[in-house]
Amino acid sequence: MQYSVPQFIEIEDRVIGPLTIRQFLMILTAGILTAASYSVFDIELFVFTGVVLVGLAAAFAFIKINGQTLEKYLTHVLYYFANPKTRIWAKELSVPLERISNRGKRRIVLKSSVGKEEISRSKLHELSTLLDTSSRNYAVSNEPTESKSGSSAEPTPREGSVSTDSRS
């Protein structure tokens, strides 16, 4: 089944002649405020106010910088100057991380308690092997498995196994 993919989704619709609704409303607002200033101010102040209002409205309606409207660009500039530029790295995590293996039977919990307890060399080797093999070469059940000789043993890594599974 074929679907049509929308194109030009970032271009605003031209509704009133060559103007979009946003542009038209900005120019209309500037015109109304200029007309209101005619009845309030004398002619010199009216001309000055009219030029400033229409100029600002035209700038906000038509100017785009790097594909962004002027009001969005000025918002980003203010946000840039208002926020600190220094990034501080926090060593400890506030929430413990949790990862579930791809089969969902064995659960590994990583806690943010680095430095509070020593990790044994065997545990470190086990985690390294687990991460290197994406836990595919490990038996994931917590039940003891039976070997070929019939005795039960703990789940251990399968030696020499190669996984051709393309899932990650």
| Segment 108-149, tens digit of pLDDT | 555 555 555 566 778 888 888 888 876 555 555 444 555 455
Average predicted confidence (pLDDT) for the chain: 75
Amino acid letter, 5: V
pLDDT, tens only, 141-155: 444 555 455 544 455
User: Would you state the structure tokens that stand for residue 6, as one six-digit string?
Assistant: 């929308």
User: Would you state the structure tokens that stand for residue 135, as one six-digit string?
Assistant: 């836990």
Residues in the chain: 168
Residue 14 has pLDDT above 50, yes or no: yes
Closest CA to 129 of 157, 153, 107, 105: 157
Q: How far apart are CA 160 and CA 116, in angstroms?
A: 36
pTM over 0.85: no
Segments making up each domain of the chain, as ranges: 14-82, 93-114+121-136
User: Would you state the structure tokens that stand for residue 159, as one six-digit string?
Assistant: 């030696």
Handedness of CA 73, 79, 82, 86 (dihedral sign): negative
Q: What is the dihedral of CA 94, 100, 106, 110, to 10 degrees?
A: -20
